[in-house]
Amino acid sequence: MAELRQLLGSSDSIGFNVVVPSAPTTCSASCDDGDGCTSDACADGQCQHTPPAGLAGVTCYLDALTRALKGAPKSDLRPAVKRQLLNGLIGQLQKLPAKKVATALDQVLVARARGALAAMP
């Protein structure tokens, strides 16, 4: 439109209207991305997949990972490999600084308590 304004004066007109299609107001299909941890919604005709923040997000993805490992059949993942992967995960989690974990856990618990309080009649 800026280019058109440069060609025409402010009081000039042309013999047709330019119609710009608007964004769809609804999503054409389900916005479920198959990720149980994300919050899926349709906003302005676009699917939005918002991952959970903080410790809640980490917990959700760790739970999904351990469920996948535990549920994998022997033909896909030998029990010894499962144990090795889970032990490696435990080792990495144990390396996390305790103070940071405690702070994050505190923030999640306070947020959940505030949410429960706000939801009360």
pLDDT digit string (tens) for 86-111? Answer: 888 888 888 888 888 788 777 777 77
- High-pLDDT (> 90) share of the chain, %: 7
Q: Which helix (H) or strand (E) holds 33?
A: none
What pTM value is reported for the model?
0.52
Quick check: 1 pLDDT over 50?
A: no
- What confidence category does residue 22 fall into, taking pLDDT thresholds of 50, 70 and 90? low
- Tokens 């022997």 sit at which residue? 74
Q: What angle do CA 97, 101, 103 make, to 5 degrees?
A: 115
Q: Which helix (H) or strand (E) holds 99?
A: helix 98-119
**Which tens digit of pLDDT belongs to each residue from 72-87?**
898 998 888 988 988 8
What's the rounded Cα separation, in Å, for the pair 34 and 10? Answer: 52
Beta strand 39-43 with 46-50 is: antiparallel
